[in-house]
Amino acid sequence: MIATVQPRGIQAPASEEIAGRRIHFLGAGGIGVSALMELAQARGAIVSGCDCCGEGQVEHLREIGIDVQIGHHPSHVERCDEVVYSPAVPDSHPELVRARELGKAVSVRMAMLGRVTKRMRTVCVTGSHGKTTMTWMIAHLLVQAGRDPSVLVGGVVPSLGSNVRVTRGPRSRRGSWLVMELDESDNRMDRVQPALPVVTNIDADHMENYGSLEALEAAMADFLASAAGAEEPTSALVGCGDDERVLRALKLASQRSGLPVIDYGFGEGRAFRGLNVVLKPMCATFDLQTPSGVWRGLELPMPGRHNVLNAAGAAAAAHRLGLDESSVRCALATCERVGRRFEVKGDCGGVRVVDDYGHHPTEIAATVRAACEAAPGGRVGALFQPHRYTRTAALMDDFARVFASCGAAKVWLLPVYAASEAPIAGADHKALAKAIRKYGYKDVTAVADRAKAAAQMAKWAKPGDTLLIQGAGDVTHASEEVLALLRRR
């Protein structure tokens, strides 16, 4: 049975109309909330926000004229019409408490996203892994083809200077296109109406909100089938057919909705099938078998077989929207990486420093493998910061097996980034190091803090090596710290 999430406070009006409404967002610096704030402002809302610190997207929001306060105080909600929060915000948050006292409308982030994007023709990309890269690939293909979509991505795109792009032209009669990454984590996908849903994969994550993998699979099937409600001529169900759970969800959703399935992958019989993959340092070439023939010699300026898989999915979605081989070929060859998705932060003395957001065992395995492929002859040293105690506890053995076999020459572990969670006994970085050693991998070190880890990494590295900074928390700052130490050396 799928776990349900209960609303809190007085719920916001069901109408999607937000123009002129004064909307206050909690957690403004977060990548998802900040993107929603930008899109709400573009739709005519008077937007404000707050966060506990000035990191993340706070400065960017201020630069585009959005009032963001540092710290939390009940006075922040006095003049707004509505407050938007994420599931990470506790009921005791002073601004939520005050909003309820004043009878303000309150809505969860995903509900607001559904209202803001209503009447838009939405390409929704979701899944356990790869959705940020896939979203930007599809968006880039459409932008380069002159389609002028709005875009919401779960990471900063260098050419955008943010994670949001707002359409520049007038809407068509049916509405403008939006390419959007949809977060599946809090079991609220039903708040958004997709016209072209894309599912990358289904893996064991966020089980606290679903209860089981079977429930997550069922939720994905429901999400896919809901595309029928968009009444969009180009609607179809796009997903990775190499993932058995995705394939089952696609077939079930097609039976319910009557929409066609377009699957992609490397396996026999896929509608869009990657062939003859050649992986090179920092890039790849491949052929793509499609319903209109084989597209040969496609180039992708990203490392790793997993990114070729993402490119196949992006091509499938773009082809459904009318893009031809030439458009896809040219756009894929120029597609940049999203920030913190195997982002090369610098190279000093022959040592490459890479920052990556991946924080699930499946993501870590793919990233370390790509790092090894991108540095033939050199070693890979990985610094990992576990994200959330619940995930670390649930996937402890999976993390251990991945690190023991991923090919990294050295692994450092930082304390868990709690993300507002309370500690769980036996789910810390020292326990993870012990679990990794049980699988026979000895060169793993649990480090007390980031500064010590950066110093050890800089001392360990030799010319030709790659230092991989891995995780969704503040470990990202280690990349600059390591580079600074390497420059001094």
Residue 146 CA to residue 142 CA, distance in Å, equals 6
* Residue 287, strand partner residues: 275
What residue type is assigned to position 171 of the chain? Answer: R
Helix, strand, coil percent values for the chain (each to nearest 5): 35, 25, 40
Residue 216 CA to residue 214 CA, distance in Å, equals 5
Let me know: does 373 contact 462? Beta carbons within 8 Å. Answer: no
Adjacency order of strands within the sheet including 466-470: 343-348, 351-356, 466-470, 380-384, 410-413, 444-446
What residue ranges in 111-217 does DSSP mark as E strands?
121-126, 150-157, 162-165, 177-181, 196-199
* Residue 69, strand partner residues: 50
The dihedral built from the CA positions of residue 44, 50, 56 and 60, taken in this order, carries a sign that is: positive
User: Which is the catalytic residue, given 117, 122, 126, 132?
Assistant: 132
Angle made by CA atoms 358, 361, 367, in degrees to the nearest 5 = 50
Place of tokens 């915000």: 89
Q: Is 132 among the residues known to form the active site?
A: yes
Place of tokens 């930008």: 38
User: Which is the catalytic residue, given 38, 82, 131, 290?
Assistant: 131
DSSP states of 325-354: HHHHHHHHTTPPPPTTSSEEEEEETTEEEE
Query: Kind of pairing, strands 410-413 and 380-384?
Result: parallel
Of 76, 84, 72, which Cα lies nearest the Cα of 7? 84
Of 369, 370, 435, which Cα lies nearest the Cα of 399? 435
User: Which is the catalytic residue, given 38, 82, 95, 181?
Assistant: 181
Q: Is 131 among the residues known to form the active site?
A: yes
Residues known to be catalytic: 131-132, 181
